[in-house]
Amino acid sequence: MGVIQNVLAVIVVLGLLITFHEYGHFWVARRCGVQVLRFSVGFGKPIWSRVDRHGTEFAVAAIPLGGYVKMLDEREAPVPVDQLDRAFNRKTVWQRIAIVAAGPLANFLLAIVAYWALFVVGTTTVAPVIGDVTPDSPADRGGLRPGQEITAVQGAPVRSWDEINLKLIAAIGVSGELSVDARDDATATSREHRLPVEEWLVRQDPPQPLPSLGVTPWRPPYPAVLGQVVEGEAAAAAGLEPGDEVVAVDGAPVDDWMYFVDTVRASPGEPLELEVLRGGERLRLSITPGRNELEEGVAIGYIGAGVEPVAWPEEYRREIRYGPVAAVGQAVARTGEMTVLTLDAIRKMLVGLISPTNLSGPITIARVAGDTARTGLESFVSFMAYLSISLAVLNLLPIPVLDGGHLLYYFVEVVRGRPVSEQIQAIGLRIGLALVGTLMLMAVYFDLMRLW
């Protein structure tokens, strides 16, 4: 069922992003007087199509991993004399630039709209309060203490752990000090802490900002009460039921859920004796955790059960909401921030600060799309907005075959006063195909390694 959800989620996400991207090209092309022959979502044989009154064929193809807008162009096929004025290659260089740039710009616009909707509806998060600090960690040496609420990272205000993680990831490669502001409680004044770091998160795969900093987020106590039990797994086989509270394992008292989880993970294939409270009655059950192989010689245990959710105290909850007008500025700012973060990540990957194993392909995208869809609409929309920004940024890279490569040729044409020769464009096309093909193969390879 999870695989089906992942596939459906990625089809919805990519379908929407690709449609917006191609519609950007289509809309501007129509305004510039270019004849659009086909607007296709997907590649391969069309499974549905129709032709509008302008002679454009709209199609949905069988392979939902891309799309394209085919325009009238003398470089692709002979054009009747009476239609030459509607050919793409006959338009001015600035019109061609506008048509090509419209696709990525449409993706940026989609991200802005998505973030705007989230800010207007409002998002609820938890205050970034520190639960524990690892001794002799950067956080400990910088003076951070349990119970403090982080209010800024590198001088930028933050309101949630998500925002903190983004700021910390943006600082990858920093040597010296990280600036973190924190306050003792909601009424106290924030104080700056200087956290000593050296080559911060360099080549860490995947980057783990908070553990590397030595910070554990505060969370309310989670009693070991089962919220769900998966059929066919060890918990169900042992007779555990939703609502059961595990109070002891092998005679040792269980204080909270994480203690129970750590015990199970450390006992793959080893029988455990549980004491369980069910309806006021104490039961004794035996359970043998399954074995999940992580790598050669390393395994963790699992039983197929989840914890009963616990409500967060009201003083730890934060709601982020803006009016329709104020939300526009916030959405544009968030889109700009994520764009800069994406460009910076590409730069750091090229210079070796970020491991290329962090590249993600369609398998990882499908998994994350499915996970966020199951988490809730807010997470799904936020993921879609970030993916839309990533698609726009990647398309604007100056690589032939991508929109950015075409824009590079057109800007050279503006400077030189004449088009780049077809021979040079053909060479660039081969180089671009090789680069993009290599990146796609690497992304799929790293996807498969994560699954393995």
| One domain, residues 235 and 278 | yes
Residue 227 has pLDDT above 50, yes or no: yes
Mean pLDDT of 254-270: 90
Q: Establish if 269 belongs to a structural domain.
A: yes
Last-in-domain residue among 217, 240, 264: 217
Q: Do residues 127 and 111 lie in contact, with contact meaning Cβ atoms separated by under 8 Å? A: no
Q: Could you tell me what percent of the chain has a pLDDT over 70?
A: 94
Average pLDDT over residues 284-311: 82
22, 149, 163, 275: which is the annotated catalytic residue?
22
What's the pLDDT tens digit per position in 14-28? Answer: 888 999 999 999 999
User: In this model, does residue 1 exceed pLDDT 50?
Assistant: no
Q: What would the mean pLDDT of 187-208 be, rounded to a whole number?
A: 86
Residues with Cβ < 8 Å from 262, sequence gap 6 or more?
none
Asked if the structure places residue 19 within a domain, the reply is no
Q: Report yes or no on whether pTM surpasses 0.85.
A: no
Classify residue 1: in a domain, yes or no: no
Q: Is the domain of 452 the same as that of 329?
A: yes
| DSSP string of 243-264, one letter each residue | T-EEEEETTEE--SHHHHHHHH
Query: Is the pLDDT at 298 greater than 90, yes or no?
Result: no
Same domain (yes/no): 407, 351: yes
Residues 98 and 199 in one domain: no
**How do residues 354-365 score in pLDDT, each as one tens digit?**
877 777 776 677
Q: Is 278 within a domain?
A: yes
Q: For residue range 100-133, list pLDDT tens digits in order.
A: 999 999 999 999 999 999 999 988 888 899 999 9
Pair 253, 196 in one domain: no
Annotated catalytic, 22?
yes
Average pLDDT value for the chain: 88
Domain match, 376 and 433 both: yes
Examine residue 116 and state whether it is found in any structural domain, yes or no.
yes
Name 217's Cβ contacts closer than 8 Å, sequence gap at least 6.
126, 128, 129, 130, 131, 161, 210
> CB 359: neighbour CB atoms within 10 A?
17
Domain containing residue 135? 130-217
- For residue 366, pLDDT beyond 70: no
Q: Which of residues 255, 286, 309 is at a domain's end?
A: 309
CATH number of the domain where residue 262 is located:
2.30.42.10
Say whether both 274 and 334 belong to one domain. no
What total of structural domains would you count in the chain? 3
Indicate the residue among 279, 309, 339 that finishes a domain: 309
| Residue 379 maps to a domain | yes
Q: Is the same domain home to 110 and 151?
A: no
Residue 417 shares a structural domain with residue 297: no
* Residues 151 and 207 placed together within one structural domain of the fold: yes
Give the model confidence (pLDDT) of 135-157 as tens digits: 999 999 999 999 999 999 999 99
Segment 371-397, tens digit of pLDDT: 666 667 888 889 899 999 999 999 999
| Same domain? 245 vs 342 | no
- Do the beta carbons of residue 360 and residue 443 sit within 8 Å? yes
Residue 7 lies in a domain: no
Strands 245-249 vs 272-278: parallel, antiparallel or unpaired? antiparallel
Q: CB neighbours (10 Å) of residue 403?
A: 24
In a domain, 367, yes or no: yes
